[in-house]
A = this chain, B = another copy of it.
């Protein structure tokens, strides 16, 4: 298998990206195609000991800034690492693309310029894997579509369920819709109309859930509009980080607490791993004609390796073919 990895994705590009790629090449034995400026990649590769053949370089001179706007990115020349890599997926030169780069740019270039939508897909969708008590839920949409129409939502559920089955190894995924209450009468217009469509479908829809239920792992696939999804994810991260900061502050407050904090350090390390979404590595952009896994810009080499592992599973299990069938079925 050949997997393209954006060498210019993380905030500490290209170091972390390349370290993650090398780790994955060694562990999985696949060819990792590093996409980015050839000279910078070659210079960085000197710090690694890796047998030829496992690593290739695909030159892409332009580096898309993390804060570049999708509209500007679309107007720019097709020589960014994201554009070059997605072209390679489209041409079949590589089997998948993994990147820690600018999500808006990836979504725009994949959907409008390179891979384009799987036939019948109304809107491609960004997902996130949300880890609670070692159970991974897939959330979608988390940012591709800020104003969602009800009829798009069943497709989000179809695509999320296929990914949960094939890659997250969840045999019969439970689908839920995030709302401000579990009752059918709660929610805004979108929620009420979309959950009505889900209830009337043949899908394994278990109903609306509110945030506290997410923490009890009552569902495997959670659908929502991209605006709410993005805020919910950010709220989870911001709150977990805030609580961690409070703990650090309070543990400096008196000698007993300080000693307690020191003794409990391994416990805190285990907790951090459980709320750290970067441990998972990334999550798929679904609905386009190719496997694309997007991760956090702050990912470490291990996170990147984990993202590559997801891409491998998605290719091996032919997620794209399954989505093509699933969407065709849903249209009937």
Contact = CB atoms under 8 A, between A and B. Distances in A.
Interface of A: 69, 132, 143, 146-147, 178-180, 185, 187-189, 191, 210-212, 214-215, 225, 227-228, 230-232, 234-247, 250-251, 253-254, 256-257, 259-268, 270-271, 274-275
A251 B247 CA distance: 14
A211 B188 contact: no
A234 B33 CA distance: 43
A178 B227 CA distance: 11
Contacts of A239: 211, 215, 235-236, 239-240, 243
B266 A243 contact: no
A257 B267 contact: yes
B69 A185 contact: yes
7 contacts: A232-B235, A235-B239, A242-B275, A246-B271, A250-B264, A259-B260, A260-B265
A180 B225 CA distance: 12
B254 A266 contact: yes
B275 A231 contact: no
Given A246-B274, A263-B263, A215 B187 contact: no
A215 B238 contact: yes
A242 B132 CA distance: 9
A250 B235 contact: no
A248 to B, nearest CB: 10
A251 to B, nearest CB: 6
Given A180-B234, A232-B231, A267 B241 contact: no
Contact of A187 (B211, B227, B241): B227
Contacts of A187: 146, 227
Contacts of A189: 146-147
Nearest to A272: B246
A68 to B, nearest CB: 12
Given A180-B234, A243-B271, A260-B260, 11 more contacts: A188-B225, A212-B234, A212-B238, A215-B239, A215-B242, A227-B228, A232-B235, A246-B271, A250-B268, A257-B267, A260-B264
Nearest to A256: B263
A211 B231 contact: yes
A94 to B, nearest CB: 31
A238 B214 contact: yes
A71 to B, nearest CB: 8
A143 B241 contact: no
A218 B129 CA distance: 29
Contacts of A264: 250-251, 256-257, 260-261, 264
Contact of A231 (B69, B178, B238, B261): B178
